[in-house]
Amino acid sequence: MSFIYLFYSWKFMPAYPVRRAVVVGASFGGLSAAIALKRYRPELDVTVVDARNPPIPHTTGGFGYHWFEKLPWELLIPEEAIAARIRGVRIVSPSGHEAVFRFEGEVGAVLHPDIWAERMLALAGRYGCNLLLGRRVTGLVQEGPVYAGVKVDGDVLRCDVIVAADGANSLIGRMVGRPDIDPMDLHVGFERTVPLPPQGGWDHSLIHLYFGRNVAPLGYLWLFPSHDGGVRTVRLGCGVPRGLNRNPREYLERWVSRHPEFQELWSKPLKEMGGLIPTAPLPKSNVHRNILFVGDAARVCSPLHGGGLGFAVQSGFLAAESIVSGNLGSYDRRLERVLGPLLRRHYLLKQVLYGWGDGELDRMVRAMGEFRMSPRLPIDPNREIMRFVFFLARREPGLIPKMVLTRLRA
C-alpha cells in the first residue's frame, strides 16, 4: 500500500465506511460517543467494553451550568444525580487571605458521578449499544494499516473503528505507542468524603479551594459540598503533579491536623478514591489510524483546574460526528475548533501559576477580593477567568514580568 494512500486515508478519510464500532471504556467520554453514534446512525453496531462492573467513575463531579447548553436533552443530569447546588467559590491564599465569590443564583452543581454514569449506561443500552462490562481488552488486531478489532479476554471483537475512552493512562494509547504524558502535566488526586462538621461555619453552598506550596505544591486542595444518604457531607481532596513524587494524601492529613473540626471525621470516611488527572496541553493529534481518543485519554481536561466532565462529554460527541461523517481525520480539526483555544489558555495560565511562589499567590488572591464577576447567569467561568487576568495585570503590574517570562518559556 502506497504512502500516498496512507497519508490521504488518515488525514482526510473520504467516506471511510464504518459498520461496527468498539468503545473501550464506559467513561463519560466513551458513553457519550456510543450514545451519539447510535443517535446519528441507528444501524451501526456499537459495543462498549469496560473491565469494571459497574464502571464507577473516579471524579469529584463538579459541573458548571454553562455546559448544559452543550448537552443534548437526553443527557441532562437527573435530579437524583445532583449532590449539591453551588452558588459560589471561596479561595484561600497561602497566608490565609480569602476571596469569596457568591452569586444570587446557582452557577453549578456537584454530582453523584456514579448515578449519572448509571443513567448514561442505561441510555446507551436503550439505544441498542452492546455492553460488555467486566471484560478486559488485552490487545488489538491489526490488518494492514488499520486495526480490525480488539481482543477481549482472548476473544476477538471485530470492528471498523475504535474509540479509546480508557483514561489518562490509556491502555490503547500504550498499545499503539502513544507518548506518555509528562509527569509534571499529570496530577495525582486523592479524595475522601466525610460528614460536614457542625462547627467551623463551613458554607455548604460554596466550593472551597486552598493554594500554597505547603498546602498542595503546583496544585490545590479542595472541599466540595455534597449530600450522601441524606447527610450533608464534604469531599475533601488534593491534587499534585506526579513528577513531584509527593503523596496528596499526606498534604490532606497535614491540612486536617490544622482544622480540628475535621480530625475525628477524617478517620471515619464515608468513601475515598484516587486517580490521575491530565493537565497537559492538547496533543497534536488524537487520531491514530482508525482509533480516536476521547476524554482523559485525549487529554481534553482543563490544565488549569483539572475539571474534565464537560470536556469528556463534548469530545465523545465530536468523535461520533467525525465517525459518521466518514472522515476520521476531521476529529482533530473539530477538537481544535471547539476546545483547542480554551485548553491552550488554561495550560498557559497553569504554567504562570507554576512559576509563582506563595507571595505572588497571596497578591493574586488579594486582587480577587476586589474583582467583580459578571452578574449574568449562568456564569461562564472561562470568560470570567480571562476578565480576571486583565484585571490582575492592571491591579498588580509587578506580576506582568513573571507572566511574560512564563509565556516565553512555554
- Taken in order of first residue, the domains within the chain and their CATH numbers are 3-63+114-181+280-343 (3.50.50.60), 85-106+183-278 (3.30.9.10), 345-409 (no CATH)
Separation of alpha carbons 236 and 222, rounded Å:
6
Question: 231-241 and 186-195: which strand pairing?
Answer: antiparallel
Percent composition of the chain: helix, strand, coil (DSSP 3-state, to 5): 40, 25, 35
Q: Which of 9, 8, 270, 24 lies closest to 137 in space, CA to CA? A: 24
Q: Which residue did the predictor score with more confidence, 166 or 3?
A: 166
Q: How far is Cα 28 from Cα 48, in angstroms, rounded to an integer?
A: 12
Helices (H) and strands (E) in the chain, counts: 12, 19
pLDDT of residue 401 exceeding 70, the answer is no
The answer on pLDDT for 30 being more than 50 is: yes
Neighbours of 235 (CB within 10 A): 25
The reported pLDDT for the residue numbered 405 is 54
Q: Among all chains, which residue has been given the C-alpha cell 464502571?
A: 55
Contact 30, 142 (CB under 8 A): no
pLDDT in tens, 121-143: 999 999 999 999 999 999 999 99
Cell numbers 450522601 correspond to: 228
Sign of CA dihedral 292, 162, 122, 58: negative
Mention every residue, 6+ apart, whose C-beta is less than 8 A from residue 75.
32, 35, 120, 123, 313
328/407: higher pLDDT: 328
Choice among 53-62, 111-120, 317-326 with the minimum mean pLDDT:
53-62
Read off the pLDDT of residues 282-301 as tens digits, 9 standing for 90 and up.
Answer: 999 999 999 999 999 999 99
pLDDT tens digits, residue range 158-181? 999 999 999 999 999 999 999 999
Closest listed residue to residue 25, CA positions, set 147, 148, 152, 141? 152
Pairing between β-strand 206-210 and β-strand 88-92 as defined by DSSP bridges = parallel
Is the pTM higher than 0.75? The answer reads: yes
Q: Closest by alpha carbon to 234, among 204, 257, 199, 211? A: 204
The residue with greater pLDDT, 407 or 179, is: 179
pLDDT, position 354: 85
- Decide if pLDDT at 6 tops 50: no
Strand partners, 291: 162, 288
pLDDT of residue 20: 97
pLDDT bracket for residue 74 (50, 70, 90): low
Residue 1 confidence class, pLDDT cut points 50, 70, 90? very low
